[in-house]
Structure 1
Amino acid sequence: MNPLEETRAGFLDELHFGRLRWDLISPFPVQSESERARGDAVVAAVMNFLKQTVDPAEVDRTAKLPDGFHEACAARGYFRLQAPLEHGGLGLSAYNAFRMIQAVASWSVAASFAMAIHLGLGAGAYLPILADGELKSELERLLAMGLISGDADTEPTGAINRARATKAVPAADGTGFYVSGEKVYITNGPIAGLLRVSATVRENGIDHIRLFFVDTSDPGFSVRSCHEFLGLKGMPSANLMFDRVFVPRGRVLAFDGMHTKEEWRLVPELHSISVRGRMYPNAAPALAIGRLCLHWSREFVKRRSVDGSGLEDHDEIQRVVAANLAETFAMESVAEWCMLAEQHHPGIDLDPEQVLAKNIITMTSWRIVDRTLSLLAAEGYETASSKARRGAQPLPVERFFRDARGLRVTGGVDFNIDRWAARNFLLRHYSAPKPVAREPSELRTAGGSLSRRNQDHLRFVAGQAVSFARECRDLVDRHPDAEGLFTKEHMLILLNRIATELFSMSLVLAKAARLDPGGAGPTQDLADVFCTEARHRAADAQQRLSETDRPEHAKVCAEWLHGNGLEYLLRDTITTL
Structure 2
Amino acid sequence: MATDDKQTGPGRPPGFLAELQLGRLRWDLIHPFPQQDEADRSRGDQVVAELTAFLQEFVDPTEVDVTGRLPEGYHRELEGRGYFRLQDPVGQGGLGLSAQNAFRVVQAAASWSVPACYAMAVHLGLGAGAYLTLLGEEDGLGAELRGLLAEGLISGDADTEPTGAINRSRSTVAVPTEDGTGYLISGEKIFIQNGPIAGLLRVSATVREDGKEYIGLFFVDTRAPGFRVKSWHEYLGLKGLPNAALTFDRVFVPRERIFSPKSWTSEEEWRISPELNAVSAYGRMFPISAPATAIAKLCLHWSREFVQRRTAHGRGLDQYDEIQRTVATTAAEVFAIESVTDWCLLAADRHPGIDLVPERTAAKNITSTTCWQIVDRTVSLLAGEGFETARSKARRGAEPLPVERFFRDARALRIAGGVDFMVDHYIARGALLAHYAADADAATTAAAPDDARLTGRNRAHLSALAEESSRFAGFCRELTSRHDNPEELFEQERTLILLGRVSSDLFSMAAVLARASRLTAQGTDSVQELADVFCTQARQRIADAWGRLAAPAQPDHAGACAAWLHGDGLDFLINDVVTATPPATFEGNC
Which of residues 240, 263, 281 is equivalent to 1:275? 281
Which of residues 381, 402, 411 is equivalent to 1:405? 411
- Secondary structure in structure 2 of the residue aligned to 1:449: coil
Give runs of aligned pairs for residues 441-452 of structure 1, distance below 5 A. Answer: 441-444=447-450, 446=451, 448-452=452-456
Distance (whole Å) between structure 1 residues aligned to residue 196 and residue 568 of structure 2? 45
- Secondary structure in structure 2 of the residue aligned to 1:335: helix
Give the partner amino acid of 2:47. V
Give the partner amino acid of 1:93. S
Structure 2 residue 226 is matched with structure 1 residue 220? yes
Residues 265 and 273, structure 2, Cα contact 8 Å, conserved in 1: no
Distance (whole Å) between structure 2 residues aligned to residue 20 and residue 258 of structure 1? 32
Give the partner amino acid of 1:408. R
Which of residues 447, 454, 459 is equivalent to 2:458? 454
Q: Report the equivalent of 1:542.
A: 546
Q: Cα offset for 1:449? A: 1.4
Residues 117 and 187, structure 1, Cα contact 8 Å, conserved in 2: yes
Counterparts in 2 of 1:390 and 1:362: CA distance versus 1, 3 Å:
same
- After superposition, the CA RMSD in angstroms is 1.5
Structure 2's unaligned 5+ residue stretches are: 1-6, 582-590
Give runs of aligned pairs for residues 178-189 of structure 1, distance below 5 A. Answer: 178-189=184-195
Which of residues 28, 44, 67 is equivalent to 2:49? 44
Q: Report the equivalent of 2:37.
A: 32
Distance (whole Å) between structure 2 residues aligned to residue 113 and residue 520 of structure 1? 34
Distance (whole Å) between structure 2 residues aligned to residue 528 and residue 262 of structure 1? 43
Structure 2 residue 560 is matched with structure 1 residue 556? yes
Residues 206 and 215, structure 2, Cα contact 8 Å, conserved in 1: yes
Q: Cα offset for 1:265? A: 1.5
Once the two structures are superposed, what CA deviation does each residue of 1:178-205 show, in whole Å capped at 9, x if it has no partner? 0001000000000000000001101343
Give runs of aligned pairs for residues 476-487 of structure 1, distance below 5 A. Answer: 476-487=480-491
Which of residues 7, 16, 24 is equivalent to 1:19? 24
Counterparts in 2 of 1:4 and 1:523: CA distance versus 1, 3 Å:
closer
Structure 2 residue 515 is matched with structure 1 residue 504? no
Distance (whole Å) between structure 2 residues aligned to residue 256 and residue 241 of structure 1? 25
Residues 211 and 253, structure 1, Cα contact 8 Å, conserved in 2: yes
TM-score between the two structures when normalised by the length of structure 1: 0.97
Residues 16 and 468, structure 1, Cα contact 8 Å, conserved in 2: yes
Residues 29 and 344, structure 1, Cα contact 8 Å, conserved in 2: yes
Q: Cα offset for 1:454? A: 0.2
Which of residues 330, 340, 345 is equivalent to 2:336? 330
- Secondary structure in structure 1 of the residue aligned to 2:147: helix
Structure 2 residue 303 is matched with structure 1 residue 287? no
Distance (whole Å) between structure 2 residues aligned to residue 220 and residue 477 of structure 1? 52
Distance (whole Å) between structure 2 residues aligned to residue 439 and residue 275 of structure 1? 28
Q: Report the equivalent of 1:395.
A: 401
Q: Cα offset for 1:424? A: 1.5
Q: Report the equivalent of 2:14.
A: 9
Q: Report the equivalent of 1:311.
A: 317
Q: Report the equivalent of 2:469.
A: 465
Q: Report the equivalent of 1:368.
A: 374
Once the two structures are superposed, what CA deviation does each residue of 1:410-459 show, in whole Å capped at 9, x if it has no partner? 11100111111111221111234465644331414x2x111100000000
Name which of structure 1's ranges 374-383 and 128-137 shifts more when overlaid on structure 2.
Answer: 128-137
Distance (whole Å) between structure 1 residues aligned to residue 267 and residue 11 of structure 2? 27
Give runs of aligned pairs for residues 69-84 of structure 1, distance below 5 A. Answer: 69-84=74-89
Counterparts in 2 of 1:154 and 1:309: CA distance versus 1, 3 Å:
same
Structure 2 residue 115 is matched with structure 1 residue 107? no
Counterparts in 2 of 1:499 and 1:88: CA distance versus 1, 3 Å:
same
Q: Report the equivalent of 1:123.
A: 128
Q: Cα offset for 1:213? A: 0.4
- Secondary structure in structure 2 of the residue aligned to 1:376: helix
- Secondary structure in structure 1 of the residue aligned to 2:388: coil
Give the partner amino acid of 1:31. Q
Q: Report the equivalent of 2:96.
A: 91
Once the two structures are superposed, what CA deviation does each residue of 1:511-530 show, in whole Å capped at 9, x if it has no partner? 00000138982101100000
Give the partner amino acid of 1:42. V
Give the partner amino acid of 1:414. D
- Secondary structure in structure 2 of the residue aligned to 1:573: coil
Name which of structure 1's ranges 502-511 and 198-207 shifts more when overlaid on structure 2.
Answer: 198-207
Distance (whole Å) between structure 2 residues aligned to residue 513 and residue 63 of structure 1? 45
Name which of structure 1's ranges 552-561 and 128-137 shifts more when overlaid on structure 2.
Answer: 128-137
Give runs of aligned pairs for residues 343-358 of structure 1, distance below 5 A. Answer: 343-358=349-364
TM-score between the two structures when normalised by the length of structure 2: 0.95
Residues 257 and 264, structure 1, Cα contact 8 Å, conserved in 2: no
Counterparts in 2 of 1:40 and 1:197: CA distance versus 1, 3 Å:
same
Q: Report the equivalent of 1:145.
A: 151
Q: Cα offset for 1:7? A: 1.0
Q: Report the equivalent of 2:496.
A: 492
Distance (whole Å) between structure 2 residues aligned to residue 418 and residue 437 of structure 1? 24
Distance (whole Å) between structure 2 residues aligned to residue 384 and residue 520 of structure 1? 35
Residues 65 and 111, structure 1, Cα contact 8 Å, conserved in 2: yes
Distance (whole Å) between structure 2 residues aligned to residue 239 and residue 320 of structure 1? 41
- Secondary structure in structure 2 of the residue aligned to 1:143: helix
Q: Report the equivalent of 1:246.
A: 252
Distance (whole Å) between structure 1 residues aligned to residue 522 and residue 106 of structure 2? 34
Q: Cα offset for 1:267? A: 1.5
Give the partner amino acid of 1:129. L
Q: Cα offset for 1:564? A: 4.5
Give the partner amino acid of 2:16. F
- Secondary structure in structure 2 of the residue aligned to 1:231: coil
Counterparts in 2 of 1:442 and 1:459: CA distance versus 1, 3 Å:
closer
Residues 9 and 278, structure 2, Cα contact 8 Å, conserved in 1: no
Distance (whole Å) between structure 1 residues aligned to residue 440 and residue 462 of structure 2? 23
Residues 9 and 355, structure 2, Cα contact 8 Å, conserved in 1: no
Runs of 4+ in 1 over 6 A off after TM superposition: 2-5, 257-260
Give the partner amino acid of 1:51. Q
Structure 1's unaligned 5+ residue stretches are: none
Residues 437 and 466, structure 1, Cα contact 8 Å, conserved in 2: no
Structure 2 residue 566 is matched with structure 1 residue 523? no
Q: Report the equivalent of 1:177.
A: 183
Counterparts in 2 of 1:104 and 1:481: CA distance versus 1, 3 Å:
same
Distance (whole Å) between structure 2 residues aligned to residue 470 and residue 500 of structure 1? 17
Distance (whole Å) between structure 2 residues aligned to residue 552 and residue 522 of structure 1? 48
Give the partner amino acid of 2:230. R
Q: Cα offset for 1:269? A: 1.4
Q: Report the equivalent of 1:385.
A: 391
Give the partner amino acid of 2:249. D
Once the two structures are superposed, what CA deviation does each residue of 1:89-120 show, in whole Å capped at 9, x if it has no partner? 00001111001000000000000100000000
Distance (whole Å) between structure 2 residues aligned to residue 436 and residue 556 of structure 1? 44
Distance (whole Å) between structure 2 residues aligned to residue 284 and residue 316 of structure 1? 29
Distance (whole Å) between structure 2 residues aligned to residue 181 and residue 95 of structure 1? 37
- Secondary structure in structure 1 of the residue aligned to 2:262: coil
Distance (whole Å) between structure 2 residues aligned to residue 518 and residue 122 of structure 1? 38
- Secondary structure in structure 2 of the residue aligned to 1:300: helix
Residues 173 and 206, structure 2, Cα contact 8 Å, conserved in 1: yes
Residues 4 and 129, structure 1, Cα contact 8 Å, conserved in 2: no
Counterparts in 2 of 1:483 and 1:136: CA distance versus 1, 3 Å:
same
Structure 2 residue 271 is matched with structure 1 residue 265? yes
- Secondary structure in structure 1 of the residue aligned to 2:306: helix
Give runs of aligned pairs for residues 54-73 of structure 1, distance below 5 A. Answer: 54-73=59-78
- Secondary structure in structure 1 of the residue aligned to 2:157: strand
Q: Cα offset for 1:389? A: 0.7
